[in-house]
């Protein structure tokens, strides 16, 4: 029976959606500062849904983004809080799951090539890896260019822990930087990620690209979003302006994920607007046909 690592879903968006009266460029991190119990509840719901690997709520807590909002001196406290709320959820559910450190785009999502050097980028990712050293694994997410992805992979690889890197593709099948999927995979191959994945794309984009990705790397995966478009946020707007697709039901999403698995994926889950209900449906339909495991249980190349 094939083993498949099942991640959680759109953590940040689910937290933001449940929160009351919070609007911030720091997204779900702002919620965690004011309503930490909401974050614990969302983590617990994803665990109960069947997720085997849970990501820390630190996507917006990069040094660059916190400094921009005047919260640079709180970075340690924020990361400690992220561990506390997730560990509370694990204690509440009694589950045996991985805690995944989150290494996101440093400035914001859906941007192109950063005007920074590899060394500068890596030094910032090094800070995040150190702050999240208690994690079992690392997930590098929503990468839109190979330079930032390479820097994140270099920092994660030095931790000695399993890590995966996920690229976001545009509708044309390329990264926002203009690089091809093959070029992106080649850029990070030497760092030895456990898995190379696609995330925060439309499900249909992942379905189209998965056969190619599976031919480029031994362990691959995907976790899509269900936004109508991300362009307002790419231009600097708040996530509040983004709309969810109503046609990506748990059943519809499950069919897409099954296609990715048929095409060779070994890691699946969900990104923005993929809810605990989606993950619960995935766990139900995959159990029996696949052995659902934690990310740390995947073979390391």
Q: List the binding residues.
A: 200, 271-272
What is the CB neighbour count within 10 angstroms for residue 229? 12
Specify binding-site residues for Zn(2+): 200, 271-272
Backbone angles phi and psi of 119, in degrees to 5: -65, -40
| 3 state SS of 242 | coil
Rounded distance between C-alpha atoms, residue 150 and residue 128, angstroms: 15
If you write DSSP's letter for every residue of 94-144 in order, what string do you get?
Answer: T---EEEEEE--SS-TT--S-SS-HHHHHHHHHHHHHHTTT-SEEEEEEE-
State the virtual CA torsion across 238, 243, 58, 72 in degrees, nearest 10.
0
Rounded distance between C-alpha atoms, residue 57 and residue 126, angstroms: 18
């Amino acid at each position: 029976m094939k083993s498949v690592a099942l991640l959680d879903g759109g953590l940040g968006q689910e937290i933001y959606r449940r929160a009351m009266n919070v609007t911030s460029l720091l997204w779900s991190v702002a919620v965690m500062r004011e309503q930490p119990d909401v974050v614990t509840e969302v983590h617990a719901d994803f665990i109960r849904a069947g997720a085997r690997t849970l990501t820390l709520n630190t996507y917006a807590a990069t040094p660059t983004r916190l400094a921009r909002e005047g919260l640079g001196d709180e970075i340690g406290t924020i990361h400690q809080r992220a561990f506390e709320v997730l560990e509370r959820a694990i204690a509440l559910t009694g589950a045996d799951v991985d805690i995944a450190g989150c290494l996101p785009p440093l400035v914001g999502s859906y941007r192109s090539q950063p005007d920074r050097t590899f060394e500068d980028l890596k030094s910032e990712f090094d800070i995040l890896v150190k702050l999240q050293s208690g994690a079992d694994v690392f997930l590098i997410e929503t990468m839109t260019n190979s330079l930032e992805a390479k820097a994140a992979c270099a920092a994660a690889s030095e931790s000695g822990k399993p890590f995966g890197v996920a690229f976001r593709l545009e509708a044309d099948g390329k990264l926002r930087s203009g690089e091809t999927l093959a070029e992106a995979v080649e850029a990070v191959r030497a760092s030895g990620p456990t898995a190379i994945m696609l995330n925060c794309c439309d499900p249909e984009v992942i379905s189209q690209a998965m056969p190619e990705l599976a031919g480029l790397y031994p362990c691959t995966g995907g976790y899509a979003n269900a936004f109508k478009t991300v362009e307002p946020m790419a231009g600097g707007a708040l996530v509040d302006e983004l709309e969810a697709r109503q046609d990506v039901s748990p059943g519809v999403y499950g069919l897409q994920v099954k296609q990715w698995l048929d095409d060779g994926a070994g890691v699946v889950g969900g990104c923005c607007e993929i809810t605990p209900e989606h993950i619960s449906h995935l766990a139900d339909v995959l159990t029996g046909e696949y052995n659902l495991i934690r990310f740390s249980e995947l073979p390391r190349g």
